[in-house]
Structure 1
Amino acid sequence: MENSEKYLRAKKKVQSLKAFYIHLIVYILVNSMLLVINLLSDSGNWWFIYPLVGWGIGLLIHGLSTFVFGKMGSDWEEKKIKQYMDKDR
């Protein structure tokens, strides 16, 4: 039973990493495209920076939740599950 719990936790972490890497790739591709459009349309006005920075903040938060806070997540989740289960008794 313990191995299946470890497997599920590991699978959840891998899915979280995969979601972050997909987010990062899309961020790079879309913002590269916006840069090219900006250069071709109006090179004097650097409007592509606004979505770059705004989306970058979201990506940073996603990265922090995946790499920094994600390492603490499984223990916290287990404690919360036990807490709610004890509360329902």
Structure 2
Amino acid sequence: MPRTHAFDEERIERLARRRAGAKMGWFIHALVYVCVNAGLALITWQTGWTWHLYPLAGWGLGLAIHGLAVWLGGGGIGLYEHLLQAERNKLSRTRRS
């Protein structure tokens, strides 16, 4: 029984690290988004044009999708685990045939 417990703890640790890494990646993405778009806004404020709204909106959409995948989807871990289990099932069926 202790062997199984150690395996579960290792799996939980690996999953926690993966999720934390995905969330950290989103925070870095958001920080770069804010810094770059603040710089673009400053440049456009100087020139009087509003062209910075296009990258702001496009990149903002990408950041929002990234955030949904990380915060609601478990960092893509749920999908990954699902695909991994499906492949395991396929391989075990093939092996039994």
TM-score range, shorter chain: 0.7 to 0.9
Q: In structure 2, do the counterparts of structure 1 residues 30 and 13 end up closer, same or farther at CA, with 3 Å as the change threshold?
A: same
- Alignment match, 2:25: 19
The equivalences for 1:1-89 within 5 A come to: 1-40=7-46, 42-43=47-48, 45-70=49-74, 73-74=77-78, 76-88=79-91, 89=95
Identity %: 30
Q: In structure 2, do the counterparts of structure 1 residues 71 and 19 end up closer, same or farther at CA, with 3 Å as the change threshold?
A: closer
Query: Take 1:5 and 1:46, find their aligned partners in 2: how far apart are those partners?
Result: 49
- Any gaps of 5 or more consecutive residues in structure 1? none
| Counterpart amino acid of residue 69 in structure 2 | S
Matched residues, number: 86
Q: In the TM superposition, what whole-angstrom CA distance separates every residue of 1:44-69 from its partner, at most 9, and x where no partner exists?
A: x2111110000000000000001112
Q: Which runs of 4+ in 1 moved over 6 A?
A: none
Query: Take 2:20 and 2:35, find their aligned partners in 1: how far apart are those partners?
Result: 23
TM-score w.r.t. structure 1 length? 0.86
- Alignment match, 2:3: none
Secondary structure at the counterpart of residue 50 of structure 2: coil
- Any gaps of 5 or more consecutive residues in structure 2? 1-6
